[in-house]
RNA sequence: CGGGGCGUAGCGCAGUUUGGUAGCGCACCAGUUUCGGGUACUGGGGGUCGGCGGUUCGAGUCCGCCCGCCCCGACCA
C-alpha cells in the first residue's frame, strides 16, 4: 500500500474521548473513528488489524475442526421467547420492530439461532459432534460504553457453538476449544491467563475466561503464587485462617448514632471481623434479600445473585428499608423482623463464636451473637476473596489480585438451550436426546485493542507482527531525489511481489512528520531510506520495539527483512511466560 | 439508573460572569522557505455557536424544554 494513495489520517492531538492509551492510539493513528456512543467505523488500518486477528482465529478454529458459517444479525423474537431469554436478557438486548410490528432483536449472541439451525439438520447421533462458528458484528446496548473497542455496543465477535451427543463429548469439544484459544492468543502476541469464571446470563456450568493482563482491565482476577489456580474474583474462593473467638453471652447494648461497622466496632472496642454487616437487596422479581457478611468483608454481588437465582439485583433505598420495617444501621440476623425478606449468611459468619450484630432496634446492637445458638438462616459463599488468602486448590500458595481484559470466554452450556428449544437427536437406542452444547466467544476488536494496551510506548503502538496492519514500512525521507524515489519504488514493488505486507510512505512530507507517523502506527519492521546513508549505498533497518538501527547495504534489504520477519513470527510460536 | 460535566470550524479549545453581529492553535488550500524527528513566514477557505421555543431593539451569552456526548458511582445499611 502506498501511503499517498491510502486513507490514513493521523491526529496530532490527544483525543478527549479516550481515557486509556489504547483507545487514544487507535483514534490518533487513524485506525477508527467514532460514529455514536460505543459504535465505531473501522478505517483501513483498523480493518487490516481486524482481518489479521480474524485470520488467526479462523486458522485455529478450522484446525480444531470447527466449521465457519455466517448467521443472520437480526433475529426473530420467537426464538428468544422459546429459550426464555426474551424476558431474561434485560436492557442490553436491542429490540426492534419491523413494519408489521413484529418483534426482532439485533443479535448480541447466537445460541438460539445456531440451535435452530442444528435442530433443522441434525437428526441422529452419527452426525455428531459438530462445531459451528462465525465472525460477525453483534450489538449489546451496554449500560456504559467506554474505552473504544474494549466495551463498545457494536462489536465484532467470533462465536462458536459445539453440539455433542453426551457430556463426555461436550467436555472434549470444550477441551479442543481451550487449546485453540491458547494458540490464538499466543499467536496474537498477548500475555494472558485463563481463569475460572462466572457464566452470567449465558448460563451453563463450567466456564473459563481468557484474560489479557493489564492494569486497565475491567475485570479483577486472582491467581495463586504457587500453582496454576486462577479465577475471576466473581467466583474466586479461598481458604481463610479462622479464629473462632471466645464464646460469650448474647447481650443488648446501646450504640446511639453508631450506624456503620467502623463506628460500632470502634465504639464497642470490637474487631470488625467479629461483626456482621447487613446488605439488603431487591432482585428482578421483586424479592427482597438480606445478606450478612463479616464486617471487614465485601459482598460479592455475583455470588449473591447466584445464591438467590437472580438476574439483576439492586440495593434498596432508605425509604424501601423503612417500608420493610428494617432499621438502617441496626439490622441484625437475630430475630430478623421481616419474613418477606429472605436472610442469607456467608459461611464465615458461622465460624465466629461471638459477633456484634444489629439489634433491629434503633440505637442498639447485640454482642456475643453466635450462629446456630442465637440465629439460623440459609448459608452461602457470599464474600469477595482478599489478596493474601490461601489458594483453594493447592492449599499452600497465597492469592494475588491482578486486572485483566476479557478477550475470550468458553462455556459448557449443557442442555439448557437444547431442552428449552426442543433441539434433539436420536441416540443409539433411538431415544430423543437434547444436544449437549458448548459456546465459545472471542472479541476480535477487543483482542486488537488489548494488544495495544500491552504493547505501546510514549510514541505510539508497537504491534506484534502477527496482527500489525502491515508487517513492514518503507519510509522515503527524500522524495525529491529521483534516485531515492526510484530505489524506494522498486524496493516497494519487490516486497509486494515477494508477498510481504508492506506500507510505503511515499508522501511528500517532512522527515519528522513521516517518522512520527511511523512510530504512532507502530508497524514492526521499518526500512528508512534517507539521503545520508543512501549516498554510502546503505539504508536503515529497525524494529519498532527497540531503538537500534542497523545500516545495511541497499541491495541486500530483502533478505534481511525476511529474516527479521521470520524471527518475529517465530517468537510468537514459542511458549510464553 | 443516580450524581457531575460538556456541546462554538475536521480536531483541541477561548469567548458566556457584565447581551452589541465569533476567535485562537492544529489540520486544509495557494505561495515562499525548510529538508533525518510534527519547519518558518505570508495570504486564504471553512461556523444553522447541539436542537426547538421564549425574553429583548439585539442572544453563542439570559430563561424553559429536548437531544447528544463524556466522567464518576451504582459493595459496607
Q: What is the pLDDT of residue A212?
A: 93
pLDDT in tens, A252-292: 999 888 878 888 888 888 888 889 888 888 887 788 889 99
Q: Write the DSSP symbol of residue A73.
A: S
Give me the percent of chain A exceeding a pLDDT of 70: 98
User: Is A84 a residue whose pLDDT tops 50?
Assistant: yes
Question: Could you give the CA distance from residue A474 to residue A458 in angstroms, rounded to a whole number?
Answer: 22
User: Is A201 a residue whose pLDDT tops 60?
Assistant: no
Strand B contact with A317 (CB < 7 A): yes
pLDDT in tens, A329-341: 888 999 998 888 8
Q: What is the pLDDT of residue A200?
A: 62
* Most confident range, picked from A54-58, A393-397, A531-535: A54-58
Task: Identify any residues that bridge with A405 across adjacent strands, giving them in sequence order.
Answer: A212
User: Is A577 a residue whose pLDDT tops 50?
Assistant: no
Cell numbers linked to A279: 446488605
Instruction: Tell which phi-psi region holds residue A78, choosing left (phi > 0), alpha (psi between -120 and 50) or beta.
Output: alpha
Task: Identify any residues that bridge with A541 across adjacent strands, giving them in sequence order.
Answer: A527, A550
| Host H or E run for residue A117 | helix A111-121
Question: Could you give the CA distance from residue A404 to residue A234 in angstroms, rounded to a whole number?
Answer: 13
Question: What CATH number was assigned to the domain covering residues A470-573?
Answer: 3.40.50.800
Give me the percent of chain A exceeding a pLDDT of 90: 58
CA of A91 to C1' of B65 (A): 27
ipTM entry: 0.88
Average pLDDT over residues A434-460: 94
Neighbouring residues of A323: CB distance < 8 A, sequence distance ≥ 6: none
CA of A500 to C1' of B50 (A): 47
Average pLDDT over residues A74-98: 88
CA of A509 to C1' of B33 (A): 14
Strand B contact with A477 (CB < 7 A): yes
Strand B contact with A491 (CB < 7 A): no
Is the preceding omega at residue A359 within 30 degrees of 0, hence cis? no
CA of A444 to C1' of B55 (A): 54
**Chain A span 268-297 residues with beta carbon within 7 Å of strand B:** 277-281, 295
pLDDT in tens, A126-150: 999 999 999 999 999 887 888 899 9
**Chain A span 345-374 residues with beta carbon within 7 Å of strand B:** 358
Strand B contact with A380 (CB < 7 A): no
pLDDT in tens, A519-548: 999 999 999 999 989 999 999 999 999 988
**Nucleotide with C1' nearest the A281 CA:** B77
Q: In what order do the strands lie in the sheet with A94-97?
A: A74-76, A103-106, A94-97
Strand B contact with A478 (CB < 7 A): yes
More confident residue, A187 or A575: A187
CATH topology of domain A251-380: YbaK protein (3.90.960)
**Chain A span 504-523 residues with beta carbon within 7 Å of strand B:** 510-513, 515-520
Helix axes A444-454, A44-63, angle to 10 degrees: 110
More confident residue, A346 or A574: A346
User: Is A409 a residue whose pLDDT tops 70?
Assistant: yes
Handedness of CA A150, A153, A156, A160 (dihedral sign): positive
Question: Could you give the CA distance from residue A219 to residue A213 in angstroms, rounded to a whole number?
Answer: 10
- Min mean pLDDT across A315-319, A342-346, A482-486 is at A315-319
Mean pLDDT of all residues in chain A? 90
**pLDDT-derived band at A410, boundaries 50, 70, 90:** very high
Q: Which positions in strand B are less than 7 Å from the protein's CB atoms?
A: 1, 11-13, 25-27, 34-39, 68-77
Question: What CATH number was assigned to the domain covering residues A12-225+400-453?
Answer: 3.30.930.10
Strand B contact with A459 (CB < 7 A): yes
What is the domain partition of chain A in residue ranges? 12-225+400-453, 251-380, 470-573
Q: What is the pLDDT of residue A203?
A: 56
Question: Could you give the CA distance from residue A259 to residue A327 in angstroms, rounded to a whole number?
Answer: 10
**pLDDT-derived band at A196, boundaries 50, 70, 90:** confident
User: Is A390 a residue whose pLDDT tops 60?
Assistant: yes
Amino acid at each position: 500500500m502506498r501511503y499517498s494513495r491510502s486513507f490514513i489520517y493521523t491526529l496530532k492531538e490527544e483525543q478527549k474521548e479516550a481515557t486509556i492509551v489504547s483507545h487514544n492510539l487507535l483514534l490518533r493513528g487513524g485506525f477508527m473513528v467514532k460514529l455514536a456512543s460505543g459504535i465505531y467505523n473501522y478505517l483501513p488500518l483498523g480493518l487490516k488489524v481486524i482481518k489479521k486477528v480474524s485470520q488467526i482465529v479462523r486458522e485455529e478454529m478450522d484446525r480444531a475442526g470447527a466449521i465457519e458459517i455466517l448467521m443472520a444479525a437480526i433475529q426473530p423474537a420467537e426464538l428468544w421467547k422459546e429459550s426464555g431469554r426474551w424476558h431474561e436478557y434485560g436492557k442490553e438486548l436491542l429490540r426492534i420492530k419491523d413494519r408489521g410490528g413484529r418483534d426482532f432483536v439485533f443479535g448480541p449472541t447466537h445460541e438460539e439461532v445456531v440451535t435452530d439451525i442444528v435442530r433443522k439438520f441434525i437428526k441422529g447421533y452419527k452426525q455428531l459432534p459438530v462445531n459451528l462458528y462465525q465472525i460477525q458484528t453483534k450489538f449489546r446496548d451496554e449500560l456504559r460504553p467506554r474505552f473504544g473497542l474494549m466495551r463498545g455496543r457494536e462489536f465484532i465477535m467470533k462465536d462458536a457453538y459445539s453440539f455433542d451427543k453426551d457430556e463426555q463429548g461436550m467436555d472434549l469439544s470444550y477441551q479442543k476449544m481451550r487449546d485453540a484459544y491458547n494458540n490464538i492468543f499466543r499467536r496474537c502476541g498477548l500475555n494472558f491467563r485463563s481463569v475460572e469464571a462466572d457464566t452470567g446470563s449465558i448460563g451453563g456450568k463450567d466456564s473459563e475466561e481468557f484474560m489479557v493482563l493489564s492494569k486497565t482491565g475491567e475485570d479483577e482476577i486472582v491467581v495463586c503464587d504457587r500453582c496454576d489456580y486462577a479465577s475471576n474474583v466473581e467466583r474466586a474462593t479461598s481458604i481463610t485462617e479462622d479464629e473462632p473467638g471466645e464464646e460469650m453471652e448474647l447481650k443488648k447494648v446501646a450504640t446511639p448514632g453508631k450506624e456503620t461497622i467502623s463506628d460500632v466496632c470502634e465504639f464497642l472496642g470490637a474487631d470488625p471481623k467479629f461483626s456482621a454487616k447487613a446488605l439488603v437487596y431487591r432482585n428482578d422479581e421483586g424479592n427482597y434479600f438480606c445478606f450478612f457478611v463479616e464486617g471487614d468483608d465485601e459482598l460479592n454481588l455475583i455470588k449473591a445473585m447466584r445464591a438467590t437465582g437472580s438476574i439483576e439485583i439492586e440495593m434498596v433505598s432508605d425509604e424501601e428499608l423503612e417500608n420493610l420495617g428494617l432499621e438502617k444501621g441496626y439490622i441484625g440476623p437475630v430475630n430478623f423482623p421481616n419474613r418477606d425478606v429472605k436472610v442469607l449468611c456467608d459461611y464465615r459468619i458461622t465460624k465466629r463464636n461471638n459477633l456484634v450484630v444489629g439489634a433491629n432496634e434503633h440505637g442498639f446492637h447485640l454482642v456475643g451473637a453466635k450462629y446456630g445458638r442465637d440465629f439460623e438462616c440459609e448459608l452461602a459463599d457470599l464474600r469477595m476473596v482478599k489478596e493474601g488468602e490461601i489458594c483453594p486448590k493447592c492449599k499452600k500458595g497465597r492469592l494475588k489480585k491482578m486486572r485483566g481484559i476479557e478477550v475470550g470466554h468458553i462455556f459448557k452450556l449443557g442442555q439448557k438451550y437444547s431442552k428449552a428449544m426442543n433441539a434433539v437427536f436420536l441416540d443409539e437406542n433411538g431415544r430423543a436426546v437434547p444436544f449437549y452444547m458448548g459456546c465459545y466467544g472471542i472479541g476480535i476488536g477487543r483482542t486488537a485493542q488489548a494488544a495495544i494496551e500491552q504493547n505501546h510506548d510514549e510514541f505510539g503502538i508497537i504491534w506484534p507482527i502477527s496482527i500489525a496492519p502491515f508487517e513492514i514500512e518503507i519510509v522515503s525521507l527524500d522524495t525529491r531525489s529521483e534516485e531515492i524515489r526510484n530505489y524506494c519504488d522498486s524496493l516497494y514493488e519487490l516486497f509486494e511481489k515477494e508477498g510481504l505486507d508492506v506500507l510505503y510512505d511515499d508522501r511528500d512530507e517532512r522527515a519528522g512528520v513521516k517518522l512520527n507517523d511511523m512510530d504512532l502506527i507502530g508497524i514492526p519492521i521499518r526500512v528508512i531510506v534517507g539521503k545520508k546513508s543512501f549516498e554510502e549505498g546503505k539504508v536503515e533497518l529497525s524494529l519498532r520495539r527497540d531503538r537500534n538501527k542497523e545500516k545495511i547495504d541497499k541491495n541486500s534489504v530483502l533478505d534481511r527483512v525476511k529474516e527479521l520477519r521470520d524471527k518475529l513470527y517465530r517468537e510468537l510460536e514459542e511458549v510464553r511466560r
